Amino acid sequence: MMLLLSFALAQPPEDPPAAEPAAPASEDAPALVPTVAPDPTPIVGPPAGPPRTGAELDAATRQIASQLRCPVCQGLSVADSPSESAVAIKKEVERLASLGYSEEQCLFYFEASYGEFIRLEPKAEGLNLLVWGGPAALVLVGLGIVGWMRLGGRKTAPARAAVDPALAPYVEQVYAAVGRGPS
């Protein structure tokens, strides 16, 4: 009986709202479904500056896109890459910059979407410090070892091997010539 009552009280699920039809396409072009770009405000907050247009927008787009790595190309920035992915990212950068988002907000938005790999230059913090400071530290350690070996690493003369008594006077002459003196 309880089972029948729960079925009677249950409401049918609501139908999802009907999607708007796509714009009519020409005969030779495929029909495209319009897409809406996601709102970046939950990720990076409200725009930090006023909306940009014209030359200011172009300069900001180029500056930001040159700091982002193309996900398809090896080592190219989004600004320099001709791939479709890079063009789409560049359009998104332009959209964000036109809305007034700052350079750091745009970079953070793409980093949240793609991970830190999207930056051409990693931030100098955390484990990335090894990338930035590791080579310099290794060079300094190497120079320290070379300096120690050249200047003060060997204070004592190496032990002389046993020499045939007939050759001893000649060996002493060689040691004297190099400045070590007789032992």
Quick: pLDDT tens for 46-102: 778 888 889 999 999 999 999 998 888 878 888 888 899 889 999 999 999 999 988
- pLDDT digit string (tens) for 110-148? 888 888 888 887 776 677 667 777 888 888 898 888 888
Residue-level pLDDT at 27: 52
Does residue 158 have a pLDDT over 90? no
Does residue 15 have a pLDDT over 70? no
16, 31, 41, 150 from 23: Cα distances, Å:
21, 8, 28, 79
Give the residue-averaged pLDDT of 16-38.
51
Smallest CA-to-CA distance from 71 within 103, 104, 113, 101 is with 113
Q: What amino acid is encoded at 112 in this protein?
A: A
Does residue 43 have a pLDDT over 50? yes
DSSP string, 34-90: ---PPPSHHHH-S-SS----HHHHHHHHHHHHTTBBPSSSSS-BTTT--SHHHHHHH
Does residue 45 have a pLDDT over 80? no
Give the residue-averaged pLDDT of 15-29.
49
The CATH number fitting domain 40-125, selected from 3.20.20.150, 3.40.50.1460, 3.90.550.10, 1.10.8.640: 1.10.8.640
Does residue 10 have a pLDDT over 50? no
Query: Is residue 174 very low, low, confident or very high in pLDDT (cuts 50, 70, 90)?
Result: confident
